[in-house]
Amino acid sequence: MSRQTRLRRHLITKIKLHPVAGVYLGTESAKIKNSATVDFLVLALNAEAVTVGSFTQNSFCAAPVIIAKNNLNKNNIRALVINSGNANAGTGQQGLADAQQTCQLIADELGCDATQVLPFSTGVIGENLPMDKIAMAIPMAIANLSVTNWQKAAQAILTTDLVTKTYSKIVNIDGHASTITGIAKGSGMIHPNMATLLSFITTDAKITQQCLQAIMSKALTKSFNRITVDGDTSTNDACTLSATQQATMPTIDTIDSIGYKQFSVAIEKCMVDLAQQIIRDGEGATKFITIIVESAKNITEALKVANTVALSPLVKTALFASDPNWGRILAAVGRSGIEDFNIEALQIYLGDVLLVENGSRAASYTEQAGQAVMDCQEITICIVLNRGQITETIWTTDFSYDYVKINAEYRS
């Protein structure tokens, strides 16, 4: 069994996915990938549901992203439609027309308006959607809508992923039970400001649209915008959070309420868990890396340092080789662009092993101690700047031969 397989093995265990009242899922094999694998998903919502979302920061965003952002502003979303195998990106006006037509076909089946449908696509860029296959898949997916179809839904949105990413909890919100269930996909082209990921999270909580958006925006900064595999931000990534209002609980309508604070914590846990599952299933990944920057002046500075280390090919390949070449970490920190950087104050830890202090290798450091940490599959790098009070954490992977192979053969 390879190191990569061992890293992902725990993800294969299927957790219990609790149904969410007011959420119905239907899947189909549209054969967009030219296989029998499910690659098409319809997620239908009850009329009372409210939905918020966040989308890629890539200027060349895909056609479904443009349509979804426009439709989301109209509120009262009744369905999400997702296909894998084709990104419908870089497809110009035809791509927009295809995304619009997909929404209309869903709306015709569900008896709602096309602006109440959000489209999402993931896969190869630059190819038009096979609309004949989409049109055939839609009625079949809707025919098998069910509250229990979460596992198939998680499979339908995958591309280069090896395993599904799922989360489901029943949480206590101000003395009332509320269900949170969500799925995600993502393996490569992962970087902050959203990445090549899709995530669809649902809950039966009673909450206003304004409060739901505030909770999601805050949770994103600690989850999907704190992961990176390779520094590439995709054209298609998106995350939605839908609340069906079906739980027996008071409506969360103010940020000062106990319910708001408890629900905010619960959603952040969900999104962090899904984000970390994406990193564990990173393309070619053999190691799960946590990078913590402590005592920074501000958030921007902390993230600049963390991402410079996380995206360094030399650091990532050393992690893959289990080589305690701490000089690569030191060099990455040094080129991160911190102004007025006092290197004498810097400390760098590999696990609990102090690597650097007083501007050079720590006197207590031994190669044996460093090697013991590097041999682990889960590694923490802690960089203490001693410049302020801010701490930030991101998660990343190593850089293996398989990453190159996967992406070199992506369209094969």
Of 27, 91, 196, 202, the catalytic one is 196
Contact between 98 and 132 under an 8 Å Cβ cutoff? The reply is no
**What phi and psi, each to the nearest 5 degrees, are found at residue 83?**
-125, 145
| 196 is an active site residue | yes
Q: How buried is 352 (Cβ within 10 angstroms: 0-12 exposed, 13-18 middle, 19+ buried)?
A: exposed
Closest among 380, 181, 185, 157 to 278, alpha carbons compared: 185
Give the Cα separation of 280 and 94 in Å (integer): 36
Closest among 245, 242, 248, 260 to 205, alpha carbons compared: 245
Contact between 88 and 103 under an 8 Å Cβ cutoff? The reply is no
Give the Cα separation of 167 and 178 in Å (integer): 14
Give the Cα separation of 370 and 376 in Å (integer): 11
Closest among 83, 309, 290, 270 to 183, alpha carbons compared: 270
Catalytic residues: 196
